[in-house]
Structure 1
């Protein structure tokens, strides 16, 4: 999966100097804050990545990102910036749901896999991830 880009609105916190609240409009309920702009950016990236991963793990569609220029902050002191979500790395690190699947393959293929110490789960996962990426690219192109 490529890096996903989502616009986010950053608002200075009124009661904390240098702190920001961040809202990701395309991801309902995705709100976080950080005690500095850099920390707010990191926290927003983490929150949005977690939001997307939950959707993926539950089999729901990932919301399409809005054009950054169409997003307007709700207050005059807010601003919009893009979040870059590396979902492959995030899913590898934090993906917790696993689904067990049985499969049937020809005996000769099983013999080959066993002789070559091939991990069935890894091959299936890598193949499905590749197919998923191709579908996502086709939808965007």
Structure 2
């Protein structure tokens, strides 16, 4: 599912950086040093909350409007930004996450493999897929 909610980026004038909140989700808060990092963090927090709500069967809050949240802007530097996530893509990304595994091979086999420019990881993946017929 695709979801879009507003994120509030408040400038921390004393320490620099941003405090990020997703007003429609209680407790959805993050911090960042730069605006780019803040946008990334806002998306990540929204991903976590939307996945959690889906998994727990919770009812999603109605997204607030810009007009409704504009009053929460504390200064001219604060930003209200729409953040969108697609939980199907998030779940697919998590399923496709690469995991390191250590394997033990005879040293001579490693040397011959290197000489022949064998990609051990790719070869192992192929062999496992063939073995499992997936």
TM-score bin, normalised by smaller chain? 0.5 to 0.7
Partner of 2:98: none
Bigger Rg, structure 1 or 2: 2
Q: Where do residues 4-15 of structure 1 align in structure 2 (5 Å cutoff)? A: 4-15=3-14
What TM-score results when the alignment is normalised by the length of structure 2?
A: 0.62
Contact 2:73 2:79 in 1 (8 A): no
Equivalent residues, number:
94
Q: Where do residues 61-140 of structure 1 align in structure 2 (5 Å cutoff)? A: 61-72=59-70, 73-76=72-75, 77-94=77-94
Structure 2 counterpart of 1:53, from 41, 51, 54: 51
Residue 67 of structure 1: how far off its partner (Å) = 1.6
Cα gap change, 1:35/1:92 in structure 2, threshold over 3 Å: closer, same or farther?
Answer: same
Segments of structure 1 that go 5 or more residues without pairing to the other structure are: 96-118, 120-141
Residue 74 of structure 1: how far off its partner (Å) = 4.4
Q: Where do residues 20-31 of structure 1 align in structure 2 (5 Å cutoff)? A: 20-31=18-29
Cα gap change, 1:57/1:6 in structure 2, threshold over 3 Å: closer, same or farther?
Answer: same
Segments of structure 2 that go 5 or more residues without pairing to the other structure are: 96-133
Partners of 1:48 and 1:16 lie apart in 2 by: 25
Cα gap change, 1:30/1:94 in structure 2, threshold over 3 Å: closer, same or farther?
Answer: farther
Give the SS at the match of 1:82.
strand
Partners of 2:11 and 2:84 lie apart in 1 by: 21
Question: Moved runs in structure 1, 4+ residues, more than 2 A?
Answer: 14-17, 91-95
What TM-score results when the alignment is normalised by the length of structure 1?
A: 0.59
Partners of 1:94 and 1:69 lie apart in 2 by: 35
